[in-house]
């Protein structure tokens, strides 16, 4: 196993991690922005007000992007397991 192959596996793992976390983080960001604009417009300065909408937004994003996320994760795992013989030998 060469250092280049270790770096390639690590880089690909980071790419998959970013792909999997992006939908959930973007949903939380969008909901937080909307709640922040709403709070600024109505002058409601309650810190706990954004928690439930963010939770619902992340749950909705997980429900919508979940099958795609699972497909990406299974594909990465399958590629990693099938590449074990070439990495060892």
Query: For the residues 16-45, what does the mean pLDDT come to?
Result: 94
Q: Are 32 and 50 in contact (CB under 8 A)?
A: yes
If you average pLDDT over every residue of the chain, what do you get? 93
pLDDT digits (tens, 9 = 90+) for 32-65: 999 999 998 998 888 888 899 999 999 999 999 9
pLDDT score for 82: 94
Query: For the residues 59-77, what does the mean pLDDT come to?
Result: 97
d(CA 28, CA 60): 10
Residue 43 zone, left/alpha/beta (φ > 0; ψ -120 to 50; rest):
left
> Distance between the two ends of the chain, CA-based, in angstroms?
8
| 70, pLDDT greater than 80 | yes
């Amino acid at each position: 196993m060469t250092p280049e192959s270790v770096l390639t596996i690590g880089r690909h793992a980071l790419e998959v991690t970013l792909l999997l976390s992006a939908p959930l983080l973007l949903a939380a960001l969008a909901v937080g922005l909307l709640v922040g604009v709403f709070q600024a417009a109505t002058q409601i300065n309650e810190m706990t007000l954004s928690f439930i909408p963010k939770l619902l937004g992340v749950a909705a994003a997980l429900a919508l992007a979940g099958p795609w996320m699972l497909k990406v994760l299974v594909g990465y795992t399958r590629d990693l397991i099938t590449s074990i013989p070439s990495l060892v030998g």
